[in-house]
């Protein structure tokens, strides 16, 4: 059966753009479907300083533009539209989109995950200017500064411990009277002299001028609110993997897609890479690597279906 594209990638973040580049270089007819602008989480990074090969920080949006340009230079095609459904018959996948229907031999899902927001005034305005959802990415910019960590789960405790290596002024707030993280992680935080944990405390507003300068906190037992100077706010209250296109695919307890080492799901020909995939570490460099692996393995499948597999 003739297909419209050899490979379709749904999502244009670091994983999707990396996958597209490798696919185009392998002479595959590849299409990237992206709802908005290519770049994904890159677009909310102010200065990206820990990606290999960039000794000087690069703006996240500029980095995304370079990834997209590189993929296009090799011949990748892009469609701005919404993928609505994925269906499979035999070896062929059919993707219904807001711009038409496409058939393909393989699909790579790189739809990512959305950080849960605290939805308070100032959060959106100061994103990338003191409000962050990644301590590893942005923590070093605030070395020896006063930082607020919002959350009480495993991720919040891990990230607070990381930030405590950079400053002795980490304030961690949790809305309940005890942390919900694993006991070992919680104890690591509560025993760390660089971290002050405040229970029954919630954030109500983030203030500043060009960057974060302070926060409004509330003691939810007394209802008392107060302002406090702060240089950065790190939010770790969970992420929402974007998996609505594949409701029946195997996922882990947190809802992330489970794959094998080839990035292939339990459905042959359907791959996942980047933040939508179950992984112990989510970073741009990891997403890019997973995108490359997914394309490499998808390419082998495509060659076999076409009868062009190397013997």
Final residue before a domain boundary, out of 183, 200, 235: 235
Q: Do the domain assignments include residue 145?
A: yes
Indicate whether 103 and 125 sit together in one domain: no
Residues with a known catalytic role:
134, 137-138
Final residue before a domain boundary, out of 202, 235, 268: 235
pLDDT digits (tens, 9 = 90+) for 60-69: 889 999 999 9
d(CA 150, CA 134): 12
Indicate whether 20 and 110 sit together in one domain: yes
Final residue before a domain boundary, out of 209, 235, 261: 235
Indicate whether 55 and 68 sit together in one domain: yes
d(CA 265, CA 252): 12
Q: Do the domain assignments include residue 311?
A: no
Indicate whether 22 and 92 sit together in one domain: yes
The reported pLDDT for the residue numbered 200 is 98
SS3 of residue 188 by DSSP? helix
Task: Output the CA torsion sign for 29, 33, 34, 37.
Answer: positive
Under 8 Å between Cβ of 39 and 67? yes
Q: What is the secondary structure of 36-96 as a DSSP string?
A: SSTTGGGGG-SEE--STT-SS-EEHHHHHHHHHHHHHHTT-EEEES-EEEEEEETTEEEEE
Q: Do the domain assignments include residue 258?
A: yes
Indicate whether 185 and 90 sit together in one domain: no
Q: Do the domain assignments include residue 50?
A: yes
**Per-position pLDDT tens, the chain of length 311:** 789 999 999 999 999 999 999 999 999 999 999 998 888 878 767 678 889 999 998 888 899 999 999 999 999 999 999 999 999 999 999 999 999 999 999 999 999 998 889 999 999 999 989 999 988 888 999 999 999 999 998 889 988 999 999 999 999 999 999 998 889 889 999 999 999 999 999 999 999 999 999 999 999 999 999 999 999 999 999 889 999 999 999 999 989 999 999 999 999 999 999 999 999 888 899 999 999 999 999 999 999 998 876 65
Indicate whether 16 and 92 sit together in one domain: yes
Indicate whether 192 and 134 sit together in one domain: yes
Indicate whether 107 and 252 sit together in one domain: yes
Under 8 Å between Cβ of 281 and 135? no
The reported pLDDT for the residue numbered 46 is 66
* Number of domains making up the chain: 2
Q: Nearest 5°: CA angle at 69, between 64 and 73?
A: 155
pLDDT digits (tens, 9 = 90+) for 279-303: 988 889 999 999 999 999 999 999 9
Q: Do the domain assignments include residue 71?
A: yes
The reported pLDDT for the residue numbered 309 is 64
Cα-only R_g, the chain: 21
Indicate whether 192 and 52 sit together in one domain: no
Q: Provide the CATH number for the domain around residue 128.
A: 3.50.50.60
The reported pLDDT for the residue numbered 202 is 98
Structural domain for 152, as ranges: 117-235
Indicate whether 121 and 231 sit together in one domain: yes
Indicate whether 121 and 230 sit together in one domain: yes
Query: What phi, psi does 34 have (nearest 5°)?
Result: -135, 130
d(CA 295, CA 266): 16
**Long-range Cβ pairs for the range 141-145 (8 Å, 24+):** 141/47, 141/49, 141/232, 142/166, 142/167, 142/231, 142/232, 143/167, 144/169, 145/169, 145/231, 145/232
Indicate whether 62 and 48 sit together in one domain: yes
Task: Output the CA torsion sign for 116, 122, 128, 131.
Answer: negative
Q: Do the domain assignments include residue 190?
A: yes
The reported pLDDT for the residue numbered 91 is 94
Q: Do the domain assignments include residue 295?
A: yes
């Amino acid at each position: 059966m003739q297909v419209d594209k050899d490979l379709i990638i749904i999502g244009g973040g670091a994983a999707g753009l990396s996958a597209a580049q490798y696919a185009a270089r392998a002479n595959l007819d590849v299409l990237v479907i992206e709802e908005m602008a290519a770049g994904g989480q890159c677009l909310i990074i102010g200065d990206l300083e820990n990606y290999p090969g960039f000794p000087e920080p690069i703006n996240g949006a500029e980095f995304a533009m370079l990834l997209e340009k590189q993929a296009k230079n090799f011949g990748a095609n892009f469609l701005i539209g919404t993928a609505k459904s994925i269906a499979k018959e035999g070896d062929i996948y059919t993707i219904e989109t807001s711009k038409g229907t496409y058939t393909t031999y393989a699909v790579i899902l790189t739809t990512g995950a959305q950080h849960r927001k605290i939805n308070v005034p100032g959060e959106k305005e100061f994103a990338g200017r003191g409000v962050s959802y990644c301590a590893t990415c942005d923590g070093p910019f605030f070395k020896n500064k006063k930082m607020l960590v919002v959350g009480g789960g495993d991720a919040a405790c891990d990230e607070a411990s990381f930030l405590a290596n950079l400053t002795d002024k980490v304030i961690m707030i949790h809305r309940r009277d005890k942390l919900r993280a694993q006991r070992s992680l919680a104890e690591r935080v509560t025993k760390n002299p660089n971290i002050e944990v405040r229970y029954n405390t919630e954030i109500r507003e983030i203030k500043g001028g060009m960057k974060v300068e302070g926060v409004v906190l509330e003691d939810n037992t007394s209802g008392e609110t107060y302002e406090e100077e702060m240089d950065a706010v790190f939010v770790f209250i969970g992420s929402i993997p974007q998996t609505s296109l594949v409701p029946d695919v195997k996922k882990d307890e947190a809802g992330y897609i489970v794959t094998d080492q080839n990035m292939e799901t339990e459905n042959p020909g359907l791959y996942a890479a980047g933040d939508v995939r179950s992984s112990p570490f989510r970073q741009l460099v990891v997403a890019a690597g997973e995108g490359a692996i997914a394309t490499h393995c998808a390419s082998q499948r495509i060659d076999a279906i076409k009868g062009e597999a190397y013997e």
